[in-house]
């Protein structure tokens, strides 16, 4: 599908403003430009099927997927044989929005993921050339993606690989490849239990010359993570009463691996990984150098 120049940015292939728009699946979406959904509208792509495929280019503003403020945008899963999820630009959501991305073995994203509303990550590996940033101007959203559900960030069986190849995002006092900030107090992220990234929730830059880290800032409360943050060359920094723990299930384990790990200004972190002792949830911590 070609570009639509009448939207908020040039080279937008699908532009939805103020209506309800549904593309039933299974479907193959090959779009030269990006997808924009705004004006309080709702959009569903690949609805009713788990065998969809997405190859989405970028609009003139650099966004492949732009879920603007106060609307719902959902993607049917891409878990059939040969299915893929690929973007040529950023994935962006505005405050008050609800964005639900599909499950796919691989999510290849040429750009950044920037969420200001509720974001649901379908299972799979997300390979992001830029940074991953949740927070700033938004946060938790009610009835996302279904009625009665409050979501800040949710993902099960997810690994985020953030390369920050063009630089990270400012997150508190550090430059980060991954940032979780203000407004996100309903966060559940669980790493895959099998496969090449089993046990890894977020992986930072692997080049020794790239020291972008992971940040948890003011407002990032009640963050529940099972899996490791692996930042061998960058710092992991918690500030402003951010809280991290791992009570996703009985087998949950939160590990923070960074060049340095800093907790300041009322922050807290707890882990109940097997082998760390028998303390109560949120109080058992092991430090390994």
Q: Specify the pTM.
A: 0.90
CA 261 to chain centre: 22
State the first-to-last Cα distance of the chain, in angstroms, to the nearest integer.
53
Q: How many CB atoms lie within 10 A of CB 240?
A: 17
Query: What is the band of 116 on the pLDDT scale with cuts at 50, 70, 90?
Result: very high
Q: What is the mean pLDDT of residues 269-286?
A: 52
Most confident range (mean pLDDT) of 67-76, 116-125, 136-145, 186-195 is 116-125
CA 112 to chain centre: 10
Domain range list for the chain? 7-111, 113-289
Place of tokens 């039933």: 24
Measured CA distances, 276 to 34, 198, 280 (Å):
47, 20, 11
Instruction: Specify the pLDDT at position 281.
Output: 44
Query: What is the band of 283 on the pLDDT scale with cuts at 50, 70, 90?
Result: very low
Within 8 A by CB and 6+ apart from 286, the residues are 271, 273, 275, 276, 277
Instruction: Specify the pLDDT at position 258.
Output: 94
> Are 74 and 41 contacting, i.e. CB atoms less than 8 angstroms apart?
no
Q: How many residues does the chain have?
A: 289
Structure token digits, residue 116: 């200001």
Q: How many CB atoms lie within 10 A of CB 246?
A: 25
Does the pLDDT at position 103 exceed 80?
A: yes
Measured CA distances, 49 to 22, 25, 53 (Å):
12, 5, 11
The chain-wide mean pLDDT, for the chain, equals 86
Which of 44 and 262 is assigned the larger pLDDT? 44
Q: How many CB atoms lie within 10 A of CB 195?
A: 14
Which of 168 and 11 is assigned the larger pLDDT? 168
Does the pLDDT at position 139 exceed 70?
A: yes
Instruction: Specify the pLDDT at position 153.
Output: 92
3-state secondary structure 151-166: ECEEEECEEEEECCCC
Span 232-276, pLDDT tens digits: 999 998 876 455 655 555 566 888 899 998 877 655 565 557 655
Which of 108 and 219 is assigned the larger pLDDT? 108
Does the pLDDT at position 29 exceed 90?
A: yes
CB-neighbour burial class of residue 257 (10 A; exposed 0-12, middle 13-18, buried 19+): middle
């Amino acid at each position: 599908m070609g570009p639509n120049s009448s939207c908020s940015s040039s080279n937008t292939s699908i532009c939805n403003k103020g209506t309800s728009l549904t593309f039933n699946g299974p479907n193959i979406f090959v779009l030269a430009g990006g997808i924009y959904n705004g004006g309080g509208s709702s959009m569903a792509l690949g609805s009713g099927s788990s065998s969809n495929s997405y190859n989405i280019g970028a609009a003139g503003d650099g966004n492949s997927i732009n879920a603007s403020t106060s609307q719902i945008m959902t993607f049917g899963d891409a878990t059939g044989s040969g299915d893929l999820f690929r973007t040529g630009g950023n994935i962006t959501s505005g405050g008050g929005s609800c964005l639900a991305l599909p499950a796919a073995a691989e999510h290849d994203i040429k750009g950044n993921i920037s969420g200001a509303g509720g974001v649901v990550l379908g299972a799979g590996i997300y390979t992001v050339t830029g940074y991953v940033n949740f927070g700033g101007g938004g946060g938790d959203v009610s009835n996302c993606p279904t009625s009665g559900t409050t979501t800040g960030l949710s993902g099960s069986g997810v690994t985020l690989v953030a390369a920050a190849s063009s630089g990270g995002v400012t997150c508190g006092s550090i430059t980060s490849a991954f940032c979780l900030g203000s407004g996100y107090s309903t966060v559940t992220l669980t790493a895959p239990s099998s496969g090449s990234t089993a046990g890894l929730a977020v992986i930072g830059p692997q080049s020794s010359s790239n020291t972008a880290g992971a940040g948890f800032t003011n407002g990032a409360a009640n963050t529940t993570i099972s899996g490791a943050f692996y930042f061998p060359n960058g710092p992991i920094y918690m500030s402003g009463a951010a809280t991290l723990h791992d009570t996703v299930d009985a087998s949950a384990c939160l590990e923070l691996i960074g060049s340095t790990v800093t907790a300041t200004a009322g922050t807290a972190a707890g882990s109940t990984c097997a082998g760390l002792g028998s303390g109560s949830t949120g109080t058992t911590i092991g430090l390994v150098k």
